[in-house]
Structure 1
Amino acid sequence: MPRHTVAKIDLDALRHNYRLARDRAGDAIAMAVIKADGYGHGIRTVARALAADTDCFAVACLEEAQAIREEGLPHTVVLLEGMHAAEDVATCCQLGLEPVIHSHHQLDWLAAGPAAPQCWVKVNSGMNRLGFAPEDLKEAMARLASAGCPVRGFMTHFAAADEPDSPATAEQTRCFQAAVAPWPEAQLSVGNSAAHFRPGQPLFDWSRPGIMLYGASPLPDRNGPELGLQPVMSLESELIAVRTLRPGDAVGYGQTWVAERPTPMGIVAIGYGDGYPRHAGTGTPAWVNGRRVSLIGRVSMDMLAVDLSEAPDARPGDRVELWGAHVSVDEVARQAGTIGYELLTGVTARVPRLYHQSGRNA
């Protein structure tokens, strides 16, 4: 019998979160960002689940776009990193994909090809990863026109939309608007998940909700449910051993936690080999038999330990929620010194994804 360590995926919660993003986008169209295997939830199933609610998906790379097409979905698909090789131009044309053009070598590839796909143009407004500097846009647009490449619009990416007191987002917005002003008919896209919760932030024509679709918060000081989001993934396992520790007993590698009193302890069949964060140490919450319990000691590759003082009747075989409806993935992430994005995308392939529809949002 296989381990009972699973990631349960609630597709109704996914749809709820997309609809919330769509509502918060106002007049903007919300393209559903499903890169990184649907943020660890399974890109093919996520795409099918959202197909009736959105007309557009956004992914990072060609392989992800191909997975959507293999599911028979005709939706607009935007490649956020654009093309990675010259031969990708033909593939984009064949599959009807819209690459984001951000670099001069991509312009070279488009100029050399017999045909060109509709595209977006990335503007570097201050993130300083990808995109053309505002002063280079005129040349880039001229080269796209010469290559016969129709431009749907412009996009940029915010560096600090999750920081309400930072002036960076307003400065990037002003920079972006000034840069694209010579092309008033172009469509504009700026809004990541955090921007949907930023009061007064214009989202223009297209927003790009990502992490919020999966129920995790894009804001560092808020959990997903506090923003009206529903958790999509419930990472669960079971107790495989229960014992009582004596005062002075140490637990786990490095013996970093030592019992100060008789303590009921459970061993859970999950660890960093499953994607649970190794740095989620003592005090990180989990959920057993309707009660919050806490991790103790170091997380191992296949196991971790929990203090069962709050759930003294727990027995081997009892279910344990590591994150989900009762323990927010954002809370676990903060304990581990990271963000919910990393935890959700980091759940490994050996953890089966079990899909269901809760009916909460039907």
Structure 2
Amino acid sequence: MRQATVYIDREALQYNLNRVKQLAPTAQILSMVKANAYGHGVKDCLTALSETDAFGVACLEEALEIRQLGDQHPITLIEGVFSIDEMQLAIEHNVECMVHHQQQLDWLYAHQQQYIAQNLKVWVKLNSGMNRIGFKISEIIEVIQKLKASGFTCVLTMHFANADVENHLLNEQQKNQFLAVKQACAPILASCCNSAALYQWPELNFDFVRPGIMLYGASPFADRTAADLDLKPVMTFTAEIMALNQIGVGEHVGYGSTFTAQKDTELAIVSIGYGDGYPRAFIDQNYVVINGKQRPIIGRVAMDMIAVDVTGLNAGIGTEVELWGKQRLVDDVAKANATIGYELLCRLSARPKRK
């Protein structure tokens, strides 16, 4: 049987949640579990995150999956609902909504009595410069004042565009806009810190923090590792050597014959590929870990297989290969592929087994 496996370390997940508590001891924690818990599997993560205060998801389908698993934590839809029918369903399942445009406000007011009766908070999104979703500063104060006058409990929220870059000019603009709206709408609950902002600006933790990637033991910063941040990788992605092959000087490997041996080489063929979600187009040399040693991938990644140079390693068929995890960090694999750890974790296919 093909041995491509994703292992989830629940103790590491709990450890990372406790790191959030240390960084934001007075704030409530909205743990982000969107995109199937960043590819880790919601059902495998809920128990480990049981001490969170609430969950954040992107859409109603993700919220309903959590409810179907029997979890009754508060849930926030960080993109809000996409129709008036979804607003009714959200209320029925005790799910709080973000609002970021007028139509969502109309749907909310159409369900005003039910929403307030359920004691659900309205998360009102400020577009402070990221320019995806949200009300501009010129309109959000009036939106919040009307909501409060109608009996809604509001949470002012925004999202940093460059929280991972400490001195980016837009950070100050975003912070100043957020603080101005918060003051104008006081008293009001507030939330603006994602994983990177938790480390950068503890003074902005306010009432709710929204950790995402840090929960899963990957770094939100390009220049700081998970170990630097005292985080533990939650996912270990492995496969096994399925064949061994000897090639001589001048022989080629893989599609396009992009690798040419400069010496006699022992190849391990590993049962993993882009069909499993392993990245194909690395721009810098990529590595896996075999018997505790980093070994280079050679040639192109195929749909189901990769080739690794194991010369002198004494590896055998069935030997486990760590693709990323505690020895080969997902952030390092991502860097070699000119992307970020978030993408690699989220784009895993359903083929690998999960344990």
Match of 2:247 among 237, 241, 245: 245
Aligned to 2:304: 302
Name the aligned partner's letter for residue 24 of structure 2. A
Check whether the contact 1:110–1:149 (CA below 8 A) recurs between aligned residues: no
Aligned to 1:140: 143
Describe the shift of the 1:251–1:198 C-alpha distance in structure 2 as closer, same or farther (beyond 3 A).
Answer: same
Aligned to 2:186: 184
Check whether the contact 1:30–1:208 (CA below 8 A) recurs between aligned residues: yes
Name the aligned partner's letter for residue 76 of structure 2. V
1:346 maps to 2:344:
no
Aligned to 2:320: 319
- Using the aligned pairs only, state the percent identity: 40
Aligned to 2:87: 89
Name the aligned partner's letter for residue 132 of structure 2. R
Check whether the contact 2:213–2:220 (CA below 8 A) recurs between aligned residues: yes
Number of aligned residues = 350
Q: Secondary structure at the match of 2:46?
A: helix
Deviates more, 1:41-50 or 1:266-275: 41-50
Aligned to 2:56: 58
Whole-Å Cα distance in 2 between the matches of residues 201 and 238 of structure 1?
Answer: 47
Q: Secondary structure at the match of 1:197?
A: helix
**RMSD, matched Cα:** 1.6
CA distances 1:39-77 after superposition (whole Å, capped 9, x unpaired):
0111122122211x1121111110111111112222111
Whole-Å Cα distance in 1 between the matches of residues 353 and 229 of structure 2?
Answer: 28
CA distances 1:159-185 after superposition (whole Å, capped 9, x unpaired):
000012212222211111102322212
Deviates more, 1:192-201 or 1:14-23: 192-201
Match of 1:291 among 270, 290, 293: 293
Whole-Å Cα distance in 2 between the matches of residues 274 and 89 of structure 1?
Answer: 36
Check whether the contact 1:238–1:317 (CA below 8 A) recurs between aligned residues: yes
Describe the shift of the 1:108–1:24 C-alpha distance in structure 2 as closer, same or farther (beyond 3 A).
Answer: same
Name the aligned partner's letter for residue 141 of structure 2. K
Deviates more, 1:102-111 or 1:337-346: 102-111
Q: Secondary structure at the match of 2:192?
A: strand
Match of 1:118 among 109, 117, 121: 121
Check whether the contact 1:97–1:118 (CA below 8 A) recurs between aligned residues: no
Deviates more, 1:58-67 or 1:276-285: 276-285
CA distances 1:319-350 after superposition (whole Å, capped 9, x unpaired):
00000011000000000000000000111111
Whole-Å Cα distance in 2 between the matches of residues 185 and 143 of structure 1?
Answer: 14
Describe the shift of the 1:337–1:224 C-alpha distance in structure 2 as closer, same or farther (beyond 3 A).
Answer: same
Q: Which residues of structure 2 form unaligned runs of 5+?
A: none
Q: Secondary structure at the match of 2:204?
A: coil
Whole-Å Cα distance in 2 between the matches of residues 224 and 138 of structure 1?
Answer: 38
Whole-Å Cα distance in 1 between the matches of residues 30 and 202 of structure 2?
Answer: 20
Aligned to 1:357: none
Q: Which residues of structure 1 form unaligned runs of 5+?
A: 355-362
Describe the shift of the 1:306–1:300 C-alpha distance in structure 2 as closer, same or farther (beyond 3 A).
Answer: same
Aligned to 1:107: 105
Check whether the contact 1:41–1:233 (CA below 8 A) recurs between aligned residues: yes
Aligned to 2:16: 17
Check whether the contact 1:162–1:219 (CA below 8 A) recurs between aligned residues: yes
Aligned to 2:7: 8
Per the normalisation by structure 1, the TM-score is 0.93
Give 1:222 shift.
2.0
Give 1:282 shift.
6.5
Whole-Å Cα distance in 2 between the matches of residues 280 and 239 of structure 1?
Answer: 21
CA distances 1:201-229 after superposition (whole Å, capped 9, x unpaired):
52221110000100111001122122111
